[in-house]
Each structure stands twice: as structure tokens, then as C-alpha cells.
A = this chain, B = another copy of it.
């Protein structure tokens, strides 16, 4: 038995240039509709959340040129940007990542979209994966 900190894949985030076209792709191809939309000014993105069971597909598009997601698309093209895991306590999970000797992007939990509390873990010590910890 393990004592897992990760209670759910909260979302998989997909960086796209055209949010309306991406929403239409998921709706028309897979029958998945938008559950929530929000502009997250702090991250310079607009997001559309599509519900899949108890998880989300998060379609992300930059709303300004200096958004990290704009830079990501410029450098790597559209595609999967990060994976977010739901946790009971973002502060506890973040403390655990730091205690394990790994670098983090957010030293402290901060507000995310739809009223969540989030923190990002630095990808270079996480096998190239940008990981977000999400407390609902």
C-alpha cells in the first residue's frame, strides 16, 4: 500500500492558438462540451475546461504576447502543456516536493482558476514534465 498524495488527474492542459476552434474539435469529434471558461489574468491565458469523468481537458490560449503559454507555443508549437494532479492540500504536497529536494516554480500556493489553490513544480527535475498541484 502506498500513501499517495495525488487523488486524481485534475486536468491535462493543451496549449492552442485558436480556443474556439479547439473547443469545436472536442465537441464535434468527441461530444465533450465546455464546463467552465475563464480568463486567468495572472497567467495571461483564457481557458476552457471540458469535463471527462472527474477530470478535465483544459484548453489554454494566450491572451497576451508575454504569456508563458504564448512563449511555449512559439517555441514548441501547440500541444500538451502540463498535467495537473488534484491533492488534498496544496501546501502539504508542495512541502513534500521541496522536502524531496525538487525545485518548484511557486514557492507558496497561489490562487488558480475556478477558485482553486495551485502550485507548479519545476519541470527539469520532474523528467521534463510541468506538473501542477491543484487543491479544490
Residues on A facing B (Cβ under 8 Å): 2-9, 12, 14-16, 21-22, 25, 27-33, 52-55, 57, 59, 76-80, 82-83, 85, 93, 96-97, 100, 102, 123, 126-129
Contact = CB atoms under 8 A, between A and B. Distances in A.
The 5 A-B residue pairs with the shortest CB-CB distance in the complex, in nearest-first order: A79-B128, A78-B128, A2-B33, A8-B53, A29-B100
Contacts of A54: 53-54
Given A12-B83, A79-B128, A127-B78, A30 B4 contact: yes
A119 to B, nearest CB: 13
Given A2-B32, A52-B8, A53-B9, A14 B76 contact: no
